[in-house]
Every structure is written in C-alpha cells, then in structure tokens.
Amino acid sequence: MEINIRGLEKSHFEQLYALFDQIDNLHHDSIPSIFKRSFDKKGVKSHLENILISKTHHIVVAVDKNENVLGFGEYIIKSIENHKVFEDKKSINIVSIIVKKEYRCRGIGTKILKYIEDQTTLLKLDSTELMVWGFNQPAIKFYESNGYETLFKKLHKKR
C-alpha cells in the first residue's frame, strides 16, 4: 500500500473529524473521571483552521493513492530559553499520532513518526518529545519500540 505523508490541507478536514472523535472516545472511555466526551465538529474545524496559519503548530496526514486520510500526526515546535531550572532547548512536542483502527500495524504510524522526527532534524532542533497516558499501552509500546524513553511519570490518587 502506497502511503504519502503531507501537510494539512483544508480538503482533509472532513476526514479528520472521525479521527478526532476516535481520540476523544478513547480518552473518555479510558478515564471518564478526567475526560469529558467533548468532540465538537465546529471546535475541531476552528482548531484545524488555526493550525493552517500557525508557524509552530502543525498536522501531517497519511493518505493513500485515492487521498483517503488513514491517520495524522499533530505536533508543536517549542523552545525553552533562559529558564531558571531547565537548560535551553528547542524541540518538537508530538500532541498525537492516530491511525484508523482498520489500518493499524501496517507501518503508517511509523511513517508519520519518522516524518515528524525528520522535521526535528531539518529544523536543527534538540529533540522530539511527547506525553502519553498510562492507559494507552499500545501507544507506549509503539513509542518505546521507536527509541523513546520515559522522562517522568505523573501519579495521582483518587479520594
């Protein structure tokens, strides 16, 4: 299957709504005490429109030869400068990578990740980083299999 990774275009919006809904459902179903079912098509459309004009916030899509969106990666270019504790650093922070359920385990997520990592190299940034929820073991295994290491853990205790 031929897959191309390319920048977000307005023509992708309609196909992306289902993937954003999928992310929303995954989070709500896994931790309903933290995540609301919050999918809002107008809100997602506004979010995507803002990304189109942003210089630091990006989405790349994985499309097949018929321009069907099979997955996407969202990332933000961030920098820390003159912080009292942390060293100066410029990095890409991955917000999310999601692939349609029926297309998982076919290398699409890896292609998206490699594209984002290539941006880190191209822009001469220090690192590619991300946050992943503990319930999302498939994602944790995916990132670890691609060389990512845990930097910190956030723990909580319910009353």
pLDDT tens figures, 39-83: 889 999 999 999 999 999 999 999 999 999 999 999 999 998 999
For residues 71 and 22, the answer to whether their CB atoms sit within 8 Å is no
Tell me the per-residue pLDDT of 104-129, one tens digit each, with 9 for 90 and over: 999 999 999 999 999 999 999 999 99
Backbone dihedral region for residue 5 (phi beyond 0: left; psi -120 to 50: alpha; all else: beta): beta
For the chain, give the longest Cα–Cα distance: 51
Q: What is the CATH number of domain 2-143?
A: 3.40.630.30
The two three-digit tokens of residue 16, written as one number: 């992306």
Return the domain boundaries, the chain: 2-143
> 83 in helix, strand or coil?
coil
Cα–Cα distances in Å, from 44 out to 16, 19, 23, 51?
Answer: 9, 11, 12, 11
Task: Report if pTM > 0.85.
Answer: yes
